Structure 1
């Protein structure tokens, strides 16, 4: 095994991208340019890293696996636009990299086991982010891009679409990776809204309502939300309490959250 080889580690959920055609297509989708500030999460052995650096953009990479650090430093450490941050992206404070609005472009081939919590962590920094391009499990991308009324519509869809425009760019087969995963992957672009299309009075209450609603998604809203909102409050939000949560769009969930905020203001919340 050469100094630049590394066996993928199961505990980190590593599947290294090696298909040159797919790598080129991803880079075309990202279209990095000089003067931009990119952040690559989990660069692995640097399949995308080289192309990102060739653009002339400043690149910060965040890598957890200590065994990959010398490989990445050996390949790219001499380049002035390369900066390596060893650590866990789930705990990383992105304000360390920039405090300017919409200044960061986030990229990553995300391990399947951390993709959802990591996206929620990044949404906490959405004001800093211009866009995000991720390789994810295809079914996760389908949930991100879902519309109301189907089985894919749920907590992830609603909370991500509250903050971002979602574009399912293209699918990637298992053969593009080493080792090959047992599932298909897809590339998604998440672009934080300049102005929220449906701003909630308190996004934390929106998250709470959505989580409660989908805890038992087969039940009606008047049942799933009974501990938060009584039936008259649901009706006051112009929502039919006899519907199931997957039948509501984002705007309806925001109305429910604002109704909860109203109750909280008047000290009526259980």
Structure 2
């Protein structure tokens, strides 16, 4: 069967975009090709695609990968995907909310897991956080996200973009920006520019900490109160008295008058381990 492009599939099925789901479908084949190439999908890979839309990218992935499991929330898209991709015996479709899925149930005994996602922008950060925090065994996550979010993920300390999301992603992954994507690459057109970024999971976290939960609690609090000094941000956690807290800062070699946005991952790790030592 000759491949149909996104616009033709939308017209063929008279598909109506759901504003509540924030749907924007890719119509630029150059972007699609770059996602395929940038994700480096091969015949050894088990691909989880989150948000397949009408299946244009899915079809290309099915021709490249060992198997593709697509997770779609919109019930209107399920029969379209089932019909358009019925010829592929390496296709699996799951009609669920990706934020409520245990991906280990999908992965099973599979190796070489690659996740690819083109999602509504309001859900991209929660999806990234879920996949990283829940410790799934994957090689890479290639995702289309709002340009500003990609810049936050890829930012360095001491700039306004640097935040808790930067630390979370860089703790677990290397990052690689694949391409910038203009609004004209979608229907309907979003009001923002996009970026395709790949997150390659590290064999072990970038820094070692004695208490990972405490590490991320300190990171979140430091950026939730980013206008305040570290002393005031950490004080609000109420994990120790002020005198002990000063000892912890001194032990970590970090000036408590600094702000969280100035700390590197290693400095956050040092501060966490010093606080852990004293509580």
Q: How does 1:36-55 map to 2 (within 5 A)?
A: 36-55=45-64
- For the residue of structure 1 that corresponds to 2:120, the secondary structure is coil
Q: How does 1:252-267 map to 2 (within 5 A)?
A: 252-263=267-278
Contact 1:126 1:192 in 2 (8 A): no
The answer on 1:29 being equivalent to 2:38 is yes
Alpha-carbon distance between aligned partners in 2 of 1:102 and 1:197, rounded to the nearest angstrom: 22
Map Cα deviations across residues 64-113 of structure 1 (whole Å, 9 max, x no partner).
Answer: 00110000001113311100011011111010122458631000112101
Alpha-carbon distance between aligned partners in 2 of 1:161 and 1:224, rounded to the nearest angstrom: 22
- Out of 90, 93, 104, the position equivalent to 2:102 is 93
Task: Find the counterpart in structure 2 of residue 235 from structure 1.
Answer: 250
Task: Find the counterpart in structure 1 of residue 186 from structure 2.
Answer: 177
Contact 1:169 1:186 in 2 (8 A): yes
TM-score (norm. length: structure 2): 0.90
The answer on 1:74 being equivalent to 2:83 is yes
Alpha-carbon distance between aligned partners in 2 of 1:78 and 1:69, rounded to the nearest angstrom: 15
Unaligned runs of 5+ residues in structure 2 are 1-9
Q: How does 1:179-194 map to 2 (within 5 A)?
A: 179-194=188-203
- For the residue of structure 2 that corresponds to 1:67, the secondary structure is coil
Post-superposition offset of 1:50 = 1.1
Structure 2 CA distance for partners of 1:125 and 1:78, relative to 1, 3 Å: farther
Q: How does 1:137-152 map to 2 (within 5 A)?
A: 137-152=146-161
Structure 2 CA distance for partners of 1:130 and 1:5, relative to 1, 3 Å: farther
- For the residue of structure 1 that corresponds to 2:177, the secondary structure is strand
Task: Find the counterpart in structure 2 of residue 120 from structure 1.
Answer: 129
What RMSD, in angstroms, separates the aligned Cα atoms of the two structures? 1.6
Structure 2 CA distance for partners of 1:256 and 1:102, relative to 1, 3 Å: farther
Post-superposition offset of 1:202 = 1.9
Contact 1:101 1:128 in 2 (8 A): no
Map Cα deviations across residues 102-149 of structure 1 (whole Å, 9 max, x no partner).
Answer: 631000112101111111100034441100100000000000000011
Contact 1:3 1:71 in 2 (8 A): no
TM-score (norm. length: structure 1): 0.93
